[in-house]
Structure 1
């Protein structure tokens, strides 16, 4: 994405201090980085219905839509009326100079944990939106390690042997793989099924994707299931 940073606009230091005061603790290093660079405007990375800007966060707290909480900090306001689940940091699960991202309704209720870190949420979403869905052929499915163990411990070496690199380091619950032939993103929630992740694999044609899936399927400890081809494959091609 050429000149991406030219479309960003950061929050002011005063706005960052105000958010830190609401949090009642030092902000995670990544969140401070995000606010300094994209706290007013995310440019093409902006979400259609979720507002992660510093002014919106401060407005919501000023209007008492959310009460300051030592564990949870609202960082993204969701305007979708059908699913108004807002984004929060969960500081009880701080990791890698960041923290878990979870979702909940403004009126309360349970929390739905979505990513181990805010950095991973932004990176995974951007890779999907600006790369994977632009490729001509893709498939969606799931991986499961049969013994319920660490899926990435099995998946990473196989992908590396197939020529894939991981351009961005992530935690155990999502991954990004890229090669000249194909690209893939995997995901599971922070409290998902052990040894299980969904995936989207994309490339120029189905033959290349089938070769990758065939190699992964040869690993006896790994179960590979494909749920959908986009676009659908006609006559097996």
Structure 2
């Protein structure tokens, strides 16, 4: 993960700043249990500043997390732990870990308001959320042509069929991911895929694909669509095709 981020954002190691050991210890005390190992790594690298990886309205800093609990904006609870404060006043859905849903040395990321109303699960892990966002901003979003759409197939076998197709096309996976997310890269193109983590997972993956031109993207999607168990639907081209 660290290698991926430093490759995507040259100079990031001079921008990001970690939380202090004391801040990390206080956060763990508030959580009431051992922090997921990935979150501990995140705090040690970016717990003070995320540099260019920072989100426009989400504050992941250790100081902000601690302040939210000290100011009683949120109350400590055994299952959900605040990891990012949302400053958008129109819809202030803050990010929480669901510590009862651990996954691969990390945990489920969900959003909800400070009062603990309806939650909206976003990513199975914080690692996948950060990598997906970084690849979108610093690879897919920098390519000349992008398209968005959906890949559907049998829930049990969609990714096991998609992975070999992407490998044949020369794509690699920069980090391991779970059943609700895929990240693919090659020198001239990149694709990010995600679905909401849910027990009712139906197999579809929303994708954003970037490349040199529409022809290159159509060739990639055409190869995916030739797999008998996979269907591809494109909803939008950016920029729009003439």
Verify same fold: TM over 0.5.
Answer: yes
Does residue 1:97 correspond to 2:105, yes or no?
yes
d(CA) in 1 for partners of 2:165, 2:184? 11
The alignment of Structure 1 onto Structure 2 pairs a total of residues equal to 233
- Aligned to 1:108, the other structure's residue is in SS state coil
Q: Once the 2 structures are TM-superposed, how far is the Cα of residue 107 of structure 1 from its aligned partner?
A: 2.1
Q: Once the 2 structures are TM-superposed, how far is the Cα of residue 40 of structure 1 from its aligned partner?
A: 0.6
- Which residue does 1:27 correspond to in 2? 35
Does residue 1:64 correspond to 2:65, yes or no?
no
1:107 pairs with one of 87, 104, 115: 115
- Which residue does 2:84 correspond to in 1? 76
- Which residue does 1:221 correspond to in 2? 229
TM-score by length of 1: 0.96
Does residue 1:186 correspond to 2:193, yes or no?
yes
d(CA) in 1 for partners of 2:155, 2:124? 19
- Unpaired stretches in structure 1, ≥5 consecutive residues: none
- Which residue does 2:163 correspond to in 1? 156
Q: Once the 2 structures are TM-superposed, how far is the Cα of residue 98 of structure 1 from its aligned partner?
A: 0.5
Q: Once the 2 structures are TM-superposed, how far is the Cα of residue 179 of structure 1 from its aligned partner?
A: 1.3
Q: CA RMSD for the aligned pairs?
A: 1.0
- Aligned to 1:32, the other structure's residue is in SS state helix
- Unpaired stretches in structure 2, ≥5 consecutive residues: 1-8
- Which residue does 1:116 correspond to in 2? 124
Does residue 1:199 correspond to 2:224, yes or no?
no
d(CA) in 1 for partners of 2:82, 2:207? 28
Q: Runs of 4 or more off by more than 3 Å in structure 1?
A: none
Q: Once the 2 structures are TM-superposed, how far is the Cα of residue 150 of structure 1 from its aligned partner?
A: 3.0
2:134 pairs with one of 126, 134, 150: 126
Q: Once the 2 structures are TM-superposed, how far is the Cα of residue 5 of structure 1 from its aligned partner?
A: 1.0
Cα distance change of structure 1 residues 120 and 140 upon mapping to structure 2, 3 Å threshold:
same
TM-score by length of 2: 0.94
- Which residue does 1:144 correspond to in 2? 152
